[in-house]
Structure 1
Amino acid sequence: MITQWLWADARLQVPNLSVALVALLLALSTSIGVGGMVEGFRNTFTGWLDQRLAAEVYVRTDSEGQAQQVTQWLAGTPNVTAVLPSARAATQLEGVPIELRGFQVHSTYVDHWPLLSEAPQVWQAIESESAVMINEQLARQLALNLGDSIALQGMQQREFTILAIFSDYGNPKGQVMMSLDTLYHNWPDAERGSFALRVEPSQIDGLISALKETFGFTGTQVLEQQAVKRYSLQLFERTFAATQALNLLVLAIAAIALFSSLLTLSNMRLTQVAPIWACGVSRRHLVLIELLRLLALALITALLAIPLGLIISYCLVNVINIRAFGWALPWQMFPHQWFYLTLAALVSAGLAALIPILKLHFCSPGELLKGFRDDQ
């Protein structure tokens, strides 16, 4: 009899709690969707930083003359195993402003650069000045693919062939990368003065101190790899801190809505449970039944929120993100987030039911008898 009553009572209560349960469903699914996107971005961004920042020290000079002095000084420094200069320029492709970056082809880039797609022998072709690689933003914006030829404004040779596309998270502009000699040949006025240095880890601090002392560099002109990574990750966390706070706020609002519904229905519940109490079920068991019923509804809501949250996450990663920023992220799933959010839903439901349940627990037999008489 109790089982039949539980099932019938649960069906009776769902319409009364529908608004609060839908609010909880939306809060959980949104948290799963946004949380999955943020966590996937964090994992992808961390791996991307490890690939992009493969050198141990990065130097930016004030002028071309100072760059030559730094080059000569580094040539006589035994602790530096490789000096990798780079240069920048700006131009247009099909009327779109883009960045040009020239670099020295080296195993540091060959082994680590985050290529999304590449043609065979791409690095040899770039070094021979016949090919370039572009970032994902530019490829999507202008619908460019491997093997396509591009003609850049201001270039001396006729065209370049695209042989690789690389990920470039956080860069709002399209970028074309080519060998340093290619950049100097086509854009002699390219901005020089940036270096990536390969150094033994034990010698990093000494080299940075020597560069600052010799050339008067500031802390922003000589950067250590780990410091750049820490700053980038801190910036990432600050960027999405508001998103995480918003998720918590939405979940709290859903819990408040559930609490308000339960509190409003608490007097009605006395009338509904009075016949069961009159049949011999103790108030203690009634309280336990009420709590388990609400927790079951919260659990079902949380389970329904998981597929809806995955749909939201997929749309954010593969639709919204691409249209907003021009680059895609790998879609990932995080079951541990589902577990914690389900636990949060159960805790929220338990807290929301606390006062109504206590009201039932401490009500007098006279109040239950009154509810039973009213029901009659």
Structure 2
Amino acid sequence: MNSLLGRLCFKSLRYQPKLLILLMTSIAIGVSLIVGMDIAIQSSNLAFERTTSSLTGKATHQIIGSGQGVSDQVYFEIRKITQNIAPVMKEDVYVVGFGKIPFKLLGVDPFAEAPFRDYFDSQYAKESISIEALLTRKNAVVLSNTLANRFGVRQGSSLSVVVGGRPFQLFVASTIEPRDKINDRFLQDVIVADISVAKELSNRFDTLDQIDVLVDRDDQETLDKIQNVLPKGVQVVLSANRTRTIREMTKAFETNLFALSLLALLVGLFLVWSAMSFSVIRRKSEFSLLRCMGLTSKQIFLMIAFQALLVGLGGALVGVLFGAFMGKFLVLSVSQTMSDLFFVTHVRQASWTFATVLKGITFGVLGSLLAMLLPALEVARIRPREGLSLKTIEVTQYGRIISKCLLVSVFVLLLSAGLLIGQPKSLMASLVAALGVILAFSAIIPLAAWIVVRMLSCIKKLTVLEFAAWRLLHALPRTAIPMAALMVSLATVIGITGMVESFRETVVSWLDQRLVGDVYITVPNQGPSRAPAVLDEKVIAFLKSSSEVSRLEYLRSISVETNLGPSQLVAFENNSFKNPKAFLQSIVPPKEVWKKVLGGDIMISEPLAFRWGIKKAGEAIDLLTPKGWRSFKIAAIYYDYASSQGVIGMSLSNYQELFSDMRVNAVAAILKNSTRSSDISTNSLERLKSIQVLDIKPNRDIRSEVMEIFSRTFSITQSLKWLAVFVAFVGIMSSLLSQTIENIREYGLLRAIGFRRGEISLQIFCESLLMSLIAWVVSVPLGVMLTYIMVYIINYRAFGWTLQMHLDKTLFLHTLLLTILAATLSSIYPSWKTLQLRPMEMLKLDQ
């Protein structure tokens, strides 16, 4: 008997190829998104880890300074304590012809490198490096063969680069061909040079970026000796801690992407549920015959479950393949977003593991089994005689369905509210609560359908619509699921669009407050994790002497160590902080904050306050300065959307006094004639580029660049949104096909008594339109609620940003038009399928 059931399972799927394709496609879409997103995230993280490993090597500890680096003299002092140390210089390099892609220049001492990095080890590469050429030739560097081929150079060639806004010619002294692919990948983004070359290129002759240290974990005595000789402003830290800090910043971003892919899978499961119900309707008489032959309800249930398992496994495998293909495209978008927001990554190939495949298959199979549960239980309860007719299984129990669904909706809403209140900081709790809200609104679809039917019954002239409405109501077990799928998709469109627009409007308003200059001058391509290059003193002198400039405002940005972890310190002279709207909270009236900052206090951005758990202004944090640890009072917490990592704000005058550093990274020029800002950018200030390679941008170009980064950040979100709509559209169509099969005899009777083909098509279109409109009506309040949750809860818990909710009223009109379009398109195939049959053939189908 078991072998017979197995054969029946395979045969029923083989003889229904269209249904099989629909079921597998539903699962494959959701799985491919999960796998593709996982591949994209893993590839970006792996690229970051490779670059970090190539720079950090085997060092257990690092000696770092606070923003100023470490003096050469410190290195010589520590050398007396232990020989297992190595000086390191790191600088961003832009290769001419490769646009805005930064590569990392690693300056090392070849004679001290052996314990840390294997570049100069004969066992590392197939051919040893020519150390003589590296030390004797001007600006000599070493590249991996892969990177040299990418640049189109070879040993003995020259390479044109820009470092710190200044052009240089590098000499390729040697190329490395590592013995294995893993080591080759470590050097795909790194240019190795002698420490003296790195100092000259970076224009920092007396300092090092860090000193790598290699000591045993239990050798506390050596660490204590090192600590004792360190001057103020320099400390020893674990190498792994710094990498872990950066990686933790991306977790919220990755969680949000995973949640979006799960949302697409949820919509796909709605479709599987609908398709499984469709399959049950088509095969109801087959199951009843099997019951008459002696099969039990349990065997019927297991038979359907086995089919769902096969479909889920097949769909998951197809989804994994599509996900691997999709990951190649998603990885570009994800890595670009990570480079814009967190750290620079170079991803040239998608990387995935067995865990990714296992995750996709698990979600696909479990989702398929979950989706088939109710249809399988429904058909297993059919009595043999009931199933021999194509009449709907449940036609009069909609009242009970509505009451049960309403109770479920209220319960899930209360549970979601309790989760948000009980876990006020958890991002995962907010995502689960959002899912709960979606399920709760899905459960009120039957009630919405009943209300619409009652309203239409009061309008006597709409006979066709009223007839279609009653048919939908009587077929709620079949129609509720595709309506819920479309409703979730439309709500997703409203919610995501509302969140993106809220973000956009908030950022535009913030830019209006912060961009006080007419022209901004910086060294090109300074990103979130990159050490900003400084402006040449000749550039500052030229700007000061320009008759077209009214005044200048300077900005200095460095990385500093604090008692709460590393952070970015920004010192500035910015009049925008005299605006009361710039502050979330402060210890004095907003207009008085800048006076407190000038007096020695600091400000911190809202994301940093969130990340460090600082709840109110007035608290203090410790900063490591060249003069040692200093405590600073937080005068205010201010709104800032430039970085999700957060920054510390300080007045430039206080910074220069504490750090003895007069250099700046950027200048905002306020012109005497602001209307000529574009002319200034392209004419007068062009002469500055003979001194240093600069980005000279008018105010409006800065806004455009910010909006471009903004659009890239949400490109994945927009794609997933429309994919969910497509899946829901297929769900509506499959539901209409299911209803068409159930009601085929009624259509035959209507044709027999004189209904024309067009009137039958109109009837099917009205059913599709009503299903879509009911879904739209429920999607509007759900979309508004999702927008609220994403703007005020999820976004804040993920990144610490306070946004202002903005919903364009035309969005609801657009989704209504989208709904009507979906109704029209989804009714075409069922109408065509029905009209292929003659009236007598329709009547015989229910015999």
Alignment counterpart, residue 623 of structure 2, candidates 134, 152, 165: 152
1:192 corresponds in structure 2 to 664
Partner of 1:353: 827
Give the counterpart of 1:169 among 627, 641, 649: 641
Could you say if the C-alpha distance between residues 10 and 172 of structure 1 is closer, same or farther in structure 2, counting changes exceeding 3 Å?
closer
Q: 2:676 corresponds to which residue?
A: 203
SS at match of 1:204: helix
Determine the C-alpha separation between the residues in 2 that align with 1:220 and 1:46. 25
Write the deviation string for residues 269-294 of structure 1: whole angstroms up to 9, x where unpaired.
33123344555555433332332222
Cα distance 1:52–1:355, how it changes in 2: closer, same or farther (>3 A)? same
1:138 partner amino acid: L
Please report how far the alpha carbon of residue 196 of structure 1 lies from its aligned counterpart in structure 2 after TM superposition.
1.0
* CA shift digits 1:240-271 (9 cap, x unpaired): 22322221122112112222332354344331
Determine if the alignment matches structure 1 residue 134 to structure 2 residue 604: yes
User: Residue in 2 aligned with 1:116?
Assistant: 584
Change (3 A) 1:374 1:172: closer
Residue 33 of structure 1: aligned partner: 495
Displacement of 1:203 after TM fit? 3.4
Moved more, 179-188 or 320-329: 320-329
Q: Which residue type is aligned with residue 52 of structure 1?
A: R
Partner residue of 2:545 out of 73, 76, 92: 76
Once the two structures are superposed, residues 200-255 of structure 1 have per-residue CA deviations (whole angstroms, 9 ceiling, x without a partner) of: 23432443333331452566432222222212212222222232222112211211
CA contact (8 A) 2:736 2:768 kept: no
How far did residue 198 of structure 1 move?
A: 0.4
- Partner Cα separation in structure 2 for residue 252 and residue 374 of structure 1: 32
CA distance in 2, matches of 1:217, 1:274: 85
Q: Distance in 2 between matches of 1:113 and 1:207?
A: 31
The match for 1:368 among 803, 820, 839 is 839
Alignment partner of 1:94 is 2:563:
yes
1:299 shift after superposition: 0.4
SS in 2 for 1:152: strand
Letter in 1 for 2:803: L
Larger radius of gyration: 2
Q: Once the two structures are aligned, what percentage of the paired residues are identical?
A: 25
State the SS of the aligned residue for 1:151. Answer: strand
- Length-normalised TM-score, structure 1: 0.86
Decide whether the 8 Å contact of 1:212 with 1:218 is kept in 2.
Answer: no
CA pair 308-75 structure 1, distance change in 2 beyond 3 A: same
2:491 is aligned with what amino acid? S
- Cα offset, 1:170, TM superposition: 4.1
The aligned amino acid for 1:22 is A
CA–CA distance in structure 1, aligned partners of residues 846 and 754 of structure 2: 17
Q: Structure 2 length normalisation: TM-score?
A: 0.40
Report the Cα offset of residue 318 of structure 1: 2.7
Q: Does 1:15 align with 2:484?
A: no
Larger relative contact order (Cα-Cα within 8 Å, sequence gap ≥ 6): 1
What amino acid does structure 2 have at the position aligned with 1:197?
A
Cα pair 1:133 1:177 within 8 Å, conserved:
yes
Structure 2 partner of 1:53: 515
Q: Which moved more, 1:262-271 or 1:343-352?
A: 262-271
CA RMSD of aligned residues (A): 3.0
Q: Out of 775, 779, 791, which is 1:305 matched to? A: 779
Shift of the alpha carbon at 1:300? Answer: 0.6
> What is the SS of the residue equivalent to 1:192?
coil
What SS does structure 2 have at the residue aligned with 1:153? strand
What is the distance in 2 between the residues matched to 1:174 and 1:167? 10
Tell me, what secondary structure is at the counterpart of 1:274? helix
Q: Unaligned regions of 5+ residues in structure 1, if any?
A: none
Q: Specify the SS of the correspondent of 2:624.
A: coil
**Kindly tell me: are residues 294 and 310 of structure 1, through their superposed partners in 2, closer, same or farther at Cα, counting changes over 3 Å?**
same
Question: Would you say the 8 A contact 2:479–2:771 is kept in 1?
Answer: no
Code of the aligned partner of 2:676: Q
Match of 2:767 among 277, 293, 312: 293
Aligned to 2:177: none
- Structure-2 separation of matches of 1:63 and 1:359: 70
Matched-pair contact (CA < 8 Å) for 2:602–2:633 = yes
SS in 2 for 1:134: strand
> Which amino acid in 1 is paired with 2:730?
I
- TM-aligned CA distance change 1:196 to 1:113, over 3 Å: farther
Tell me the number of residue pairs that the alignment of Structure 1 and Structure 2 aligns.
369
Question: Would the alpha carbon gap of residues 157 and 105 (structure 1) be closer, same or farther in structure 2, given more than 3 Å must change?
Answer: farther
Distance, in Å, in 1 between the alignment partners of 2:688 and 2:801 is 41
2: CA distance between counterparts of 1:228 and 1:22? 43
- Indicate conservation of the 8 Å contact 1:54/1:112, yes or no: no
Matched residue, 1:42? 504
Mapped to 2, the partners of 1:85 and 1:15 lie a distance apart of 67
Query: Which residue of the partner structure matches residue 712 of structure 2?
Result: 238
**Contact 2:624–2:630 (Cα < 8 Å) also in 1:** no
What are structure 2's unaligned runs of at least 5 residues? 1-459, 524-532
- The answer to whether the Cα contact below 8 Å between 1:135 and 1:165 also exists between their aligned partners in 2 is yes
The aligned runs of 1:236-315 (5 Å cut-off) are 236-278=710-752, 281-315=755-789
| Other structure's SS at 2:807 match | coil
SS of 1:83's equivalent? strand
SS at match of 1:353: helix
In structure 2, the CA distance between the partners of 1:190 and 1:13, relative to structure 1 (3 Å rule), is farther
